[in-house]
Amino acid sequence: MSQRIVVDPITRIEGHLRIEAEIKDGKIEEAYSSGTMVRLIEEILRGRDPRDAWAFVGRVCGVCTSVHSTASVRAVEDALGIIIPPNAEMVRNLMFCAQNIQDHVVHFYHLHALDWVDVVSALKADPKKTSEIAQSISNWPKSSPGYFSDLQKRLTKFVESGQLGIFANGYWGHPAYKLPPEVNLIGVAHYLEALEWQKEIVKVHTIFGGKNPHPNYLVGGMACSISLDDASGINAERLSYVLTVLKQAKEFVEQVYVPDLLAIAPYYLDWGAIGGGLGNYLVYGDLSTTSYREPKNFKFPAGAILNKDLSKIHEVDLRSDNEVQEFISHSWYEYAGGDGVGLHPWKGETKLNYTGPKPPFEHLNVDEKYSFLKTPRWKGHAMEVGPLARVLVGYASGRTDYKEVVDSVLKKLNIPATALISTLGRTAARGVEALLVAQWSLEFYDQLITNIKNGDTRMASTEKFQPDTWPKQAMGVGHNEAPRGALAHWIVIEDQKIANYQLVVPSTWNASPRDKEGKSSAYEAALKDTPIADPNQPLEILRTVHSFDPCLACAVHLYDEEGKHISKVKVL
Amino acid sequence: MKEPNILILGVGNYLMGDEGLGVHVARALQDEQLPEGVDVLDGGTAGFQLMEYLEKYPIVIMIDATLDKNTVGTIRLIEPKFSQDFPKAMSTHEIGLKDLVESLALLGKLPKIYLYVMTVQDIANLHVGLSQFVEEQLPQLKRLILNKVDDLLPAVLV
């Protein structure tokens, strides 16, 4: 006998995602992922000035403002052949690093931890024992028995007042929660500390981007002026503040995030064999130590891995007509050339054609179209993108910085490298990446300072800023490695205006529906075979889906009428 | 110089028509001459990134669009203390804003929030700019906010 369960919307993500799963003998047999909001940013951009696109795409989401804006200015610069000055490269890298670390920490504590940490159990913790555990895993100073006991009192008051709020949507007491109360209390303490900490790191964006949220970007460089002794621009004082914040970030990752990860993981090692999914990984590459145009210097090397084969890294070409393509055979769109074709984004089309059931409905018809996400493929393969993909490509490329961190995590958890291809591995890879990015950010900072001290204060290249210098037609692609994975924007400029603009975002790669051959994308593949202890409380689905850090806001877009987490179970 | 006391914070997504109401209001108020101690911020679609602002100001006047059963254009003033006091279909801040409010409450750092919401129609069509009807309600909403500022200022300037 099998059951069909529906989780809609998946909460603790940005955007709106629905998962339907068929369960047989306590395991997921088939899963279907549907983006239930529509996105038409492409249509908003058509006909606009390409130099303004960054400001619009920066608004598609509350989380990834800066990575979308970066991809956008890079696409335009690529189309027009603009080379940006070294300072602007470093400033973009620093803003990228700040966002990456902030996002990973926020994801771990605020979006994912509650899948593993039972808040209600934390109320039963012994503060003294909690303190001992905390001090055994890290030198982080906030770890006294008094600190944990104060927090526990506040938490108890909060829970008893009925104001569970942030903690309301949990499956507390679910048998799949395995942590002792003391580790749960550490998790809750750091949930709150992470929140306090993250407000500092985002100031890197305020300083370089002029404002936050939604910092300023500029085609040709960055919209800030740097001079060590300039009172109004970015001067020595502001730069030293950036350094302070970056150092604090490194400290937080090293002393809080990663120790917590390593303290929680041993209780969930079975998840090192669950949720692996596709085994195909795609990375566009990012964070060059010289120029974005020199991929050989990327800290995140580009490449693709197929069938878990780490011995071969395949080259990726975003310009090739038959590498990245988007399909719509299961998506509510139509193409002029019919449903069977795949389109490279430069030829991409965004025409809605909703043929799904009229809400409210019980189930999607998954044999037909069932999502507002298109289905991207690389050379026809379904690919996973994100921190795990980046860590595996870096590791498989033989990079020593990756090898050192990854091997130390594997050794501490006493698990083989193959366990990385799992739900646990995805979550661990994010921590590994945060460690690396925190180290790299200090290198980029040094490079920026050295460059300024050598007398180079150029921040933008303006010679091709005026549209009368542009060719009649130009095409470009701009990519980066957003927190959730490979992100690229493709632009076609005609007569100084945007003629076509396509975003292929990380969650489209991961959360998309099946392709025309019926092949699953990353979420659907990873959910297959996941054990479900209680279909009424499908905590296990949340674990695997959250391990990808879904962010559907840019993949699709609309509102969430009730904002409630609903799961329905139906016996088939 | 006095510390800033009141923040007028417009939130929403301006790519989604009327959903961007808060942003449009913030931008309009940025052009006005406001009393000392009163700042305006276009919060856009941000969530957790707004924390430093919510901690810095004792009073935050928030503006957002909402989808509810009221007549389109209805303006309501809510004084939320907990995340569930916020309208359910408020903006696209799936993560962030409500969790942030809740966490600040737990940390004992929640400012006094006055939330002005205006009921808007289905925001299914993505476009930039407000519908004519909502646009026409803007002056009234602006007036309500500025009156609120006048009411609150004497208390916070002491």
Asked if A561 lies within 8 A of B15 by C-beta distance, the reply is no
Peptide bond into B4 cis (omega under 30): no
B84 contacts chain A (CB < 8 A): yes
Smallest Cβ–Cβ distance between A553 and the set B51, B92, B125 belongs to B92
pLDDT of residue A557: 27
* pLDDT above 50 (res A513): yes
Which of A12, A16, A68, A330 does the annotation list as catalytic? A68
pLDDT of residue B3: 67
* pLDDT above 50 (res A558): no
Q: Which residues pair with A305 in a beta bridge?
A: A281
| Tokens at B16, concatenated | 């989604």
DSSP conformational letter for B2: P
Would you tell me how many other CB atoms lie within 10 Å of the CB of residue A40?
21
pLDDT of residue B92: 47
pLDDT of residue A329: 97
Interface of A with B in 318-347 (CB under 8 A): none
The reply to whether A18 belongs to the active site is no
A158 contacts chain B (CB < 8 A): yes
**What percent of chain A lies above the pLDDT cut of 90?**
76
Q: In this structure, are residues A201 and B48 in contact, taking their beta carbons and an 8 Å threshold?
A: no
Asked if B15 lies within 8 A of A213 by C-beta distance, the reply is no
The reply to whether A514 belongs to the active site is no
A56's torsion region: left (phi>0), alpha (psi -120 to 50) or beta?
A: alpha
Smallest Cβ–Cβ distance between A562 and the set B16, B88, B123 belongs to B88
Instruction: Supply the range of the domain harboring residue B53.
Output: 6-156
Q: How far apart are CA A514 and CA A278, in angstroms?
A: 13
ipTM given for this complex = 0.80
B48 contacts chain A (CB < 8 A): yes
pLDDT of residue A111: 84
* pLDDT above 60 (res A563): no
Mean pLDDT value of segment A121-140? 96
Long-range contacts of A337-344, Cβ-Cβ distance < 8 Å, separation of 24 or more:
A339/A516, A340/A516, A342/A377, A344/A320, A344/A490
| Tokens at A548, concatenated | 């990808």
In chain B, whose CA is at the least distance from the CA of A559? B92
Smallest Cβ–Cβ distance between A165 and the set B50, B51, B83 belongs to B83
Mean pLDDT value of segment A455-474? 96
A207 contacts chain B (CB < 8 A): no
pLDDT of residue B157: 66
Sign of CA dihedral A183, A185, A191, A196: negative
pLDDT of residue A566: 37
The residue type found at B105 is: A
**What percent of chain A lies above the pLDDT cut of 70?**
93
* pLDDT above 80 (res A412): yes
Rg (CA), chain A: 23
pLDDT band at A214 (very low <50, low <70, confident <90, very high): confident
Q: How far apart are CA A421 and CA A220, in angstroms?
A: 39
Mean pLDDT value of segment A158-166? 69
Q: In this structure, are residues A66 and A215 in contact, taking their beta carbons and an 8 Å threshold?
A: yes
Q: What is the pLDDT of residues A352-373, one digit of tens each?
A: 898 988 877 888 899 999 999 9
Tell me how many residue pairs between chain A and chain B have CB atoms under 8 A apart: 139
In the sheet that holds A485-494, the strands lie side by side as: A473-482, A485-494, A497-504
CA dihedral A490, A493, A494, A500 (to 10 degrees): 30
DSSP conformational letter for A358: P
What value does the mean pLDDT of chain A take?
Answer: 91
Mean pLDDT value of segment A525-539? 93
Mean pLDDT value of segment A519-542? 94
Mean pLDDT value of segment B123-140? 81
Residue of B37 and A258 predicted with greater confidence = A258
* pLDDT above 80 (res A232): no
* pLDDT above 70 (res A383): yes
Mean pLDDT value of segment A538-550? 92
The reply to whether A551 belongs to the active site is yes
Which range, of A108-122, A511-525, B75-89, averages the lowest pLDDT?
B75-89
Q: Which residues of A touch B66 (CB under 8 A)?
A: none
Asked if A62 lies within 8 A of B16 by C-beta distance, the reply is no
pLDDT band at B95 (very low <50, low <70, confident <90, very high): low
Mean pLDDT value of segment A200-206? 92
Q: In this structure, is residue B42 part of a structural domain?
A: yes
Based on the structure, what is the number of domains in chain B? 1
| Tokens at A521, concatenated | 């994308």
B78 contacts chain A (CB < 8 A): no
Which range, of A290-294, B31-35, B124-128, averages the lowest pLDDT?
B124-128
B131 contacts chain A (CB < 8 A): no
The reply to whether A97 belongs to the active site is no
Q: How far apart are CA A549 and CA A105, in angstroms?
A: 11
Q: Which residues of B touch A191 (CB under 8 A)?
A: 103
Would you tell me how many other CB atoms lie within 10 Å of the CB of residue A360?
5
Which of A97, A182, A323, A551 does the annotation list as catalytic? A551
The residue type found at A80 is: L
pTM higher than 0.90, yes or no?
yes
B119 contacts chain A (CB < 8 A): no
Which of A131, A507, A520, A547 does the annotation list as catalytic? A507
Mean pLDDT value of segment A317-322? 97
Q: In this structure, is residue B117 part of a structural domain?
A: yes
Q: In this structure, are residues B26 and B65 in contact, taking their beta carbons and an 8 Å threshold?
A: no
Residue of B98 and A572 predicted with greater confidence = B98
* pLDDT above 90 (res A564): no
Sign of CA dihedral A388, A391, A394, A396: negative
Which of A12, A51, A390, A484 does the annotation list as catalytic? A484
* pLDDT above 50 (res A455): yes
Q: In this structure, is residue B1 part of a structural domain?
A: no
Asked if A110 lies within 8 A of B48 by C-beta distance, the reply is yes
Q: What is the pLDDT of residues A63-92, one digit of tens each?
A: 778 999 999 999 999 999 999 999 999 999
pLDDT band at B103 (very low <50, low <70, confident <90, very high): confident
* pLDDT above 80 (res A40): no
Smallest Cβ–Cβ distance between B127 and the set A39, A44, A165 belongs to A44
Mean pLDDT value of segment A537-543? 91
Mean pLDDT value of segment A376-383? 98
* pLDDT above 50 (res A205): yes
Which range, of A71-85, A335-349, A500-514, B16-30, averages the lowest pLDDT?
B16-30
The reply to whether A441 belongs to the active site is no
The reply to whether A61 belongs to the active site is yes
Q: In this structure, are residues B45 and B12 in contact, taking their beta carbons and an 8 Å threshold?
A: yes
Smallest Cβ–Cβ distance between B94 and the set A192, A200, A560 belongs to A560
What value does the mean pLDDT of chain B take?
Answer: 83
| Tokens at A540, concatenated | 């296990």
pLDDT of residue B88: 59
Q: Which residues of B touch A38 (CB under 8 A)?
A: 124, 126
From B112's Cα to the closest Cα of chain A, the distance in A is 17
B52 contacts chain A (CB < 8 A): yes
Asked if A213 lies within 8 A of B49 by C-beta distance, the reply is yes
pLDDT of residue B2: 56
Q: In this structure, is residue B43 part of a structural domain?
A: yes
B140 contacts chain A (CB < 8 A): no
From B94's Cα to the closest Cα of chain A, the distance in A is 5
Asked if A62 lies within 8 A of B96 by C-beta distance, the reply is yes
Q: How far apart are CA B76 and CA B66, in angstroms?
A: 10
* pLDDT above 60 (res B91): no
Residue of A62 and A325 predicted with greater confidence = A325
| Tokens at A537, concatenated | 């409380």
DSSP H/E element including A476: strand A473-482
* pLDDT above 50 (res B93): no
Interface of A with B in 60-89 (CB under 8 A): 60-63, 65
pLDDT of residue A158: 80
From A162's Cα to the closest Cα of chain B, the distance in A is 11
* pLDDT above 80 (res A101): yes
Asked if B45 lies within 8 A of A65 by C-beta distance, the reply is yes
Asked if B103 lies within 8 A of A214 by C-beta distance, the reply is no
For position B109, which CATH number holds?
3.40.50.1450
pLDDT of residue A373: 92
